[in-house]
Amino acid sequence: MGKRRKFLLAGLVAVAFLLTMVVGSWADDYSSHWSSQFINDAYNRGWMTGDGNGNFRPESAITRGEFAVMLWRAKGQPVPVYNCVFKDVPTNAFYYKAVAALNEAKVVNGLDAATFGPNNTLTREMGCTMLARAYNLTAVNTNAYQGFVDSGEVSDWARAEVAALVEKGYLSGVGDNRIAPKQPLKRGEMAKLLITVANAYTVQSEIAHQNAMSAVIQYASGPSISIKQTVLGSDRVRVAVTITDDWNITFAGWRESEEKATYKSKSGFDNELSSGTTEIIISENGWYAVYAENKNGFGNYKLFEVKTINKDAPVVKLSQETNSSTGKVTVFIKVTEKGESTDISGDMDYIGYRPDVNEGDTFSNENRFTELEKGTAEFTVNQEKDYGWYAVCAINKKGEFGYSLIEIKKPSGRATAPAITTTSLPDGVINTAYSQTLAATGSATIEWTLVTGSSDLADDLKVSATGVLSCTPKALGEFKITVKATNDEGSDSKEFTIKIVLPTYRVTYNANGGSDAPGAVEASNPIELSKTRPTREGYEFLGWAKSSSATNAEYQPGEDITVEGNITLYAVWKLIAEGDDDDDDDDDIGIIDENEYV
């Protein structure tokens, strides 16, 4: 190329750069695409940008790291409190804060405990899972996605979230009634999903904001507060306060309140609480309020009313003492006037106790209570046989009735029968060793046995005494097995279904100097190669090869191949020299050094 042609080319590049600065951050490669309105909306909100080369590429796949950044921006760019736990997310990466913050909020998980896979292609089911968690979407019908012919391909961990997006109309198929959960999520598709879900969420947040008694949707409001009252006696109520938030709670407290009071700050909440679940003992009827704030400055409150306190009733106070050698528990009864400490149990007209009650039960008379002898203020029970909740009541000379509850706990050394807690078995792979440890509760040593199992599944199917189920599957399909857990106190049996499938292999595509390589896929043999063809300016795509330096293609897009393990395929390119046609000599085929002048 001569100097004059180089100069003209440089001038054209400069003009193109200036035009790009005038019309926007990327070239108009999407205006005719079906997702253009969503792309514009996402760009105007600052959630999505171009690829750094002046293009948006709506048909290209998106990585897990890229989507984390988009979702993080959409959620207001919260600042992570802790360092990111994933070793493959460096602190200088553009997605570091996004991954760290969303992982803290339980929106994104890793491929394992230490790996996030930021450069891995984001699949459709991964994107659905992250979106549903970020916007707290749940499905009424958890099988909403099963109308698609490939619904069985949805991973177990993604089913609830995929169902939520399908049920609410946010997610549709890709054609031929397929949902394609393992297929890469394209940038245009993601723009539509993100904008549609975010817009619907904004409306829901506004509705929730109008209800001052409701916890507002995650991230847009203060912490979630729930209240549970348990009556402990006629003189007091235990209030369990649970405060949760995906961002740190900086304050929580409670106070006496009015019935319809509203609160916008922590002012007046002098009785501080801890985050999580804590307990308050209330001894006066009336309205109360709990208030909490998170580190982002959002607050929330909850009102509750206590109305079971009988201020005129005698106060029944209980304590217990256990004789470890006999297993007997003595319950001591003290009766006082409200606000006093003097024991007046001897002045009561009636004192009685009642077994087999439940925590939180209320009573208004002595029916079904066993009266104690006059002057007696204690009773004894056998802890081994008679553990559980008891009610004790007292009636004074004015006929006023008071009561209290106490729990006699089961001895800690008592053995219990097993209960199998394993709920399902993971899939197995044909001709591959399978092993799964079963679990059960039970305080005595448990022995496991195989009750029933098909020889069609495996010749070596067995369950060890310690609960390890193992075999080498020899057939595809679903098979029923029944196992039994036994100890000296009893046994428990359970039937499981185990599905045996073909092995899956991962095919990764490398554009090898080009762009727009298809996303990686996992499938069983034979594996159909993606029909998507990568691009590279000035080159002709010849096909795929297993070596990055290959000069001849081994496979073509859409071809079925059989592999024996995970594989990476590299694009094979042919240089199209200026003035050449598609019949150039083979000498031009292969990989061109990046420094070679063309």
> β-strand 419-420 against 521-523: which pairing, if any?
unpaired
Cβ atoms within 10 A of the Cβ of 435, count? 10
Using alpha carbons only, give the angle 62, 67, 72 rounded to the nearest 5 degrees.
165
> Which DSSP category does 203 fall into?
H
List the CATH code of the domain at 224-306: 2.60.40.10
> β-strand 276-282 against 315-323: which pairing, if any?
unpaired
Name the least confident of 51-60, 114-123, 185-194: 51-60
The answer to whether 479 and 452 are in contact (CB under 8 A) is no
Q: Which CATH number fits domain 315-408: 1.10.10, 3.90.550, 2.60.40, 3.30.70?
A: 2.60.40
pLDDT band at residue 176 under the 50/70/90 scheme: confident
- How confident is the model at residue 275, as a pLDDT? 66
- Nearest alpha-carbon partner for 61 in 518, 529, 567: 518
Rounded mean pLDDT of 240-261? Answer: 86
Quote the pTM value. 0.36
Asked if residue 526 has a cis previous peptide bond (ω within 30° of 0), the answer is yes
- How confident is the model at residue 203, as a pLDDT? 54
CATH 3.40.50.1950 at 419-501, yes or no: no
pLDDT band at residue 219 under the 50/70/90 scheme: very low
- Nearest alpha-carbon partner for 65 in 97, 40, 113, 25: 97
pLDDT band at residue 545 under the 50/70/90 scheme: very high
Whether 34 shows a pLDDT value over 80: the answer reads yes
- How confident is the model at residue 415, as a pLDDT? 62
How far apart CA 62 and CA 66 sit, in angstroms, is 6
Domain 505-588, CATH homologous superfamily name and number = Listeria-Bacteroides repeat domain (2.60.40.4270)
The answer to whether 372 and 330 are in contact (CB under 8 A) is no
- Please give the residue that has the higher pLDDT: either 288 or 211: 288
How far apart CA 408 and CA 228 sit, in angstroms, is 22
The answer to whether 479 and 500 are in contact (CB under 8 A) is yes
What are the residue boundaries of the structural domains of the chain, listed by start? 27-208, 224-306, 315-408, 419-501, 505-588
Over the stretch 73-93, which tens digit does the pLDDT of each residue have? Answer: 988 898 888 889 899 999 999
How far apart CA 316 and CA 343 sit, in angstroms, is 10
- Please check whether the two domains, 419-501 and 505-588, share a CATH topology: yes
pLDDT band at residue 52 under the 50/70/90 scheme: low
Mean pLDDT of the chain: 84
Over the stretch 88-147, which tens digit does the pLDDT of each residue have? Answer: 999 999 999 999 999 988 889 989 888 999 999 999 999 999 999 998 888 888 888 988
